[in-house]
Structure 1
Amino acid sequence: MRRKIVRLALVGGVVFLALLLLLATCGGSPGDGKGKAGDAATGTARPAAASAGPVTRLTVPPQYTTDRGWEIIGSSPEIAVSHATGLVAYLERSAGNRYRLRTVDTATGRPGWRGQPWRQPDPLHYPRIATVTRGDRQFFVTWSYGKVGDGMSPSSTFLSLDLYDVTNGSWQRVEVPWQGAPDVSASGPDIVISDGKANSVLVDPVTGTVSELSADELKYPKGCPACKQLTEVHGQTIGGLLVGGAREFWVHGGWFSRNVAPKGTDRTSGVPTSVTSDLVLAKWALARKAKRAATHELWAVHDAVTGEAVASVECHRPAIKPGRYPQAVLSPSGDYLIAGNLAFDLAAQRGRCFEDEGGVGHLTLATVTDDGIAYGAENARDASEALAGGGLPVSMDFATWTTDRLARNARLPGIETTGVGVFRWTDRQERTHLIGYPRTD
């Protein structure tokens, strides 16, 4: 069912190009040299000469050089990347409690286009940011949730989304009335807003069209009573919405987990844990007669269109069921996938669970590159803690499936694109720094 949203603003995109060396000479913020006072941004880009390197030199994995690179000071805690264009997007706070989306070319460090400043409903927190892909087009999307007017009625709360075409920054805003804290997924091709249960709203990033999908329209698989218990919309794939129940899961209008269960598993036990546009990561109980059924479970990466298991691996059952499963991270090419202590070489159709003989997984993987190198940390609670400097940093080579410890103070790349690793750290003034270091020659 489609409905017209009251608040929908389409604003023409604005493209700003800045000369990097001129900015370095003048010491100004990229693109802000002659802006209005109300538009002055706190973040600055500090490009580095090839011989001098950036102002801040971090200890990083040996695959990267700190002899040259670029640095941004004052970015948002979260960033988004477009591997198709090599742009990284970040938010910075402007005067008057406004925010502006900026981009940087990771290969050169040159500022790209920037968006107009805007206010968000909730001034206490940074808006969220992600990349969504629909067909051959990509968009940076930011969102925040808050109130309008006096906030006395439930209808006054809404989710505000800003959508930017990654190629030129053309912008449109969509505001969706919403009750309760929303769950937002940008796995694509639409942006999915859900209530954490069975009701959802889809936003088309190209047109801004908003579509509602109620629990009654989810096309529950026949003969699956558990599908109607604890039903939850997990996100969207190129095949359709991914929906799960107390047990078993399905793609709306597509396949049913029971029909694609990996060999040697209980066909009615599938639980989706993470979703990308092309893939679904799920865990399965082993068949009751399996030798390790009492101690292990199987993790499988499924093709989002067919449901076929692309790669799988057995892993010990955790002593305590996690409250939140690790999110899958793909390499830019899509050849490798990591999630917590799991690693999959999708091209070779192989998986590995990193755990000790007692079944304890001390390793958390956070980033993976097209060269088949993953970065993470031992004894880190999750990927966010590993990227923030927690635990003992390590690298893992898919060619050998072995790990190497890095220097104890080594920082890990949050992403890598165009041969440049993007690192994040926070200084004593609580400012977030983004630093781009190229791979070693």
Structure 2
Amino acid sequence: MAVAPRSNLVVQAAEDTSRVQAYDLATGKVAWTFTPAALSDARTGVFVVTVGGREQVLLARQGKTSGDGLKQSAPTVTVDIIPARSPAKATAAHHLDLPVPSDRALSFAASGSGFLVGAADQGTYSQATVIDPATGAKRSVTAKDVTVPGCGGATCTLSATPAFATSAGVVSTYQQTTGCDRWANGSGQPCTTGFQVGDAWTSTTTAPRGMHTGIPLAVTGKYLIAAWHSSDSQTDQPALSADSKTTFTVQDLATGKTIASVSCTSADRLALQPGSAQSSTRTSANGRYLVSGQTAFDLNSRTGRCYTSSASSKGIDFTAVGDDGTAYGLIHTGDGSDASSLYGRLPIAPDGTDSTEQGARVDLASDSAKALSEATEVPIYLAASNGVFHTGEVLAVYARR
């Protein structure tokens, strides 16, 4: 399920991927229906990407083609690009078939302004396909050498690996392994771990003072959200923990300029990974508030707050925020799984699988949080006048009071 706020639509794919329907957010009426080509055993993702002010719905599926006649059934990835503003019987403006090995599961990475398909390893891709939602054009991206200023006190050349695509270009991550203190024991210059946004800017030129480790967590609209450490051992994955503070920043996607920042600790040890907070990153309809993972920002006052765990309280993984600063989320309860130990990853499956997590409501203006009753669902999107809820196969929109 995905929301197209400019078109005032919520889009949902049937569980068997036989059709996609867009519903009017105000009335709940079906605005359009799209019927894709049949695939068996399909894994499906529905995304809304905005390019040049126009919203495009991307239906991405990995499955098998039908084996009929002389044709063998074969694994494939298909991507259909459907304009959000479509007639009642929608058709794809672009259809792409991407053959894949049968033994590899691919990930679909949408940032809101870019789309990438590939086999992920801890948030990065050794090889991936970037798709232009406006034209349907596709291109292959792989690791490449980049010149990094401020690396180990000088300039160095490092290999940068794609993480996700945006309107400003592909965000690639890199890690220095030579000429620096790999063990973070104070024996030399800290190693640099960072990222580059297209050809526009590099994290080392915009990092907070003294921060040598930068992880791009998510992109929403014109903002990139990143996490920063002073240094990290090369043997450990960067994490939000109680050991040292993690600084979270909201940065201008085009320039890297820092808009707001906040430093947090957590009683939970949550791994920080490129793109891990994408599913829990939202902005309010009026653009004032932004929530991401377990942090919240007032972009007007350029301030941020932490809603992470402590010795006496649990953390909150945000799901939505409204124009008045009322935000909702799920109380974080780690179960030891990789998913629950990854910062920003919501315990709601993309296909709307039921979640037993308890919800919470936060008033960002007063910095007060309240647990909701266990039977209360939390919205996954808040418009100015209504909220969108998604549980299992049930999609509901309620007027806000």
Normalising by the smaller structure, the TM-score range is 0.7 to 0.9
Match of 1:139 in 2: 56
Task: Determine the C-alpha separation between the residues in 2 that align with 1:352 and 1:423.
Answer: 25
Kept in 2, the 8 Å contact 1:249–1:257? The answer is yes
Q: What is the aligned partner in structure 2 of residue 397 from structure 1?
A: 363
Distance change in 2, residues 1:167/1:436 (3 Å)? same
Q: Which has the higher helix share?
A: 1
Instruction: Give yes or no for the alignment of 1:269 onto 2:213.
Output: yes
Q: Could you tell me how far apart the structure 1 residues matched to 2:395 and 2:270 are?
A: 35
Distance 1:318 1:224 in 2: 31
1:245 match: secondary structure: strand
What is the identity percentage for the equivalent residue pairs of Structure 1 and Structure 2?
A: 25
Q: Which residue of 2 aligns with 1:302?
A: 251
* Aligned position for 1:435: 396
State the secondary structure of the residue aligned to 1:400.
coil
1:11-410 equivalences in 2 (<5 Å): 79-92=1-14, 99-120=18-39, 123-148=40-65, 157-168=75-86, 169-171=90-92, 172-179=94-101, 180-196=104-120, 197-216=125-144, 219-221=146-148, 224=151, 228=158, 231-246=160-175, 247-263=193-209, 265-266=210-211, 268-286=212-230, 295-316=244-265, 320-322=269-271, 325-327=276-278, 328-355=281-308, 358=311, 361-381=314-334, 383-385=346-348, 388-410=354-376
Query: Which secondary structure state, in structure 2, belongs to the residue aligned with residue 248 of structure 1?
Result: strand
Structure 1 or 2, whichever has the larger Rg, is 1
Q: Tell me the TM-score normalized by structure 2.
A: 0.75
**CA deviation vs aligned residue, 1:122-142 (integer Å, no higher than 9, x gap):** x33441111011112111111
Q: What value does the CA root-mean-square deviation take over the aligned residues? A: 3.1
CA contact (8 A) 1:188 1:236 kept: no
**Residues in 2 aligned to 1:198 and 1:303: alpha-carbon distance in whole angstroms:** 26
1: distance between equivalents of 2:32 and 2:266? Answer: 47
Contact 2:146 2:157 in 1 (8 A): no
Change beyond 3 A, Cα 1:360–1:233: farther
| Distance across 1 between alignment mates of 2:206 and 2:115 | 26
Shift of 1:232: 3.2
* Counterpart residue type for residue 160 of structure 1: T
TM-superposition CA deviations, 1:321-376 (whole Å, max 9, x none): 42754332222333222223211112221111124554864322222122211111
CA distance in structure 1 between the partners assigned to 2:399 and 2:268 by the alignment: 41
Q: State the SS of the aligned residue for 2:3.
A: strand
* Matched residue type, 1:251: V
CA drift of 1:389 comes to 4.9
Deviation of 1:287 (Å):
7.8
Deviation string for 1:385-432 (max 9, x for gaps)? 599453432211121111123333111112223522122234xxxxx2
Compared CA separation, residues 210 and 326, structure 1 to 2 (3 A): closer
Aligned residues: 341
* Counterparts of 2:291 and 2:384, CA distance in 1: 20
Q: Deviation of residue 90 (structure 1)?
A: 0.7
- Separation in 1 of the partners of 2:127 and 2:115? 14
**Alpha carbons of 1:98 and 1:412: their partners in 2 closer, same or farther (altered >3 Å)?**
closer
Partner-residue secondary structure (3-state), 1:390? coil
Task: Give the superposition deviation at 1:92.
Answer: 1.9
Q: Which residue of 2 aligns with 1:40?
A: none
- Contact map agreement 1:287 1:293 (CA 8 A) in 2: no
Q: CA deviation at 1:222?
A: 5.4
Which structure has more strand as a fraction of its residues? 2
Distance 1:294 1:276 in 2: 29
Letter of the 1:326 counterpart: A
The answer to whether the Cα contact below 8 Å between 1:238 and 1:277 also exists between their aligned partners in 2 is no
Contact kept, 8 Å, 1:234 with 1:275, in 2: the verdict is no
Q: Give, in angstroms, the shift of residue 310 of structure 1.
A: 1.1
Structure 2 unaligned regions, length at least 5: 68-73, 176-192, 233-240, 335-344
What is the alpha-carbon distance in structure 1 between the residues aligned to residue 261 and residue 157 of structure 2? 24
Q: Deviations over 1:124-180 (max 9, x none)?
A: 344111101111211111111234588xxxxx6432001110111341311123343
The Cα shift of 1:437 comes to 1.0
Q: Which amino acid aligns with 1:141?
A: L
Query: Structure 1: 5+ residue runs without aligned partners?
Result: 1-78, 151-155, 427-431
1:72-127 CA-to-partner distances (Å, cap 9, x unmatched) read xxxxxxx111100111111125xxx661111110101221111134313xx33441
What is the TM-score of this pair, normalised by structure 1?
Answer: 0.69
Q: Partners of 1:321 and 1:107 in 2: how far apart? A: 38
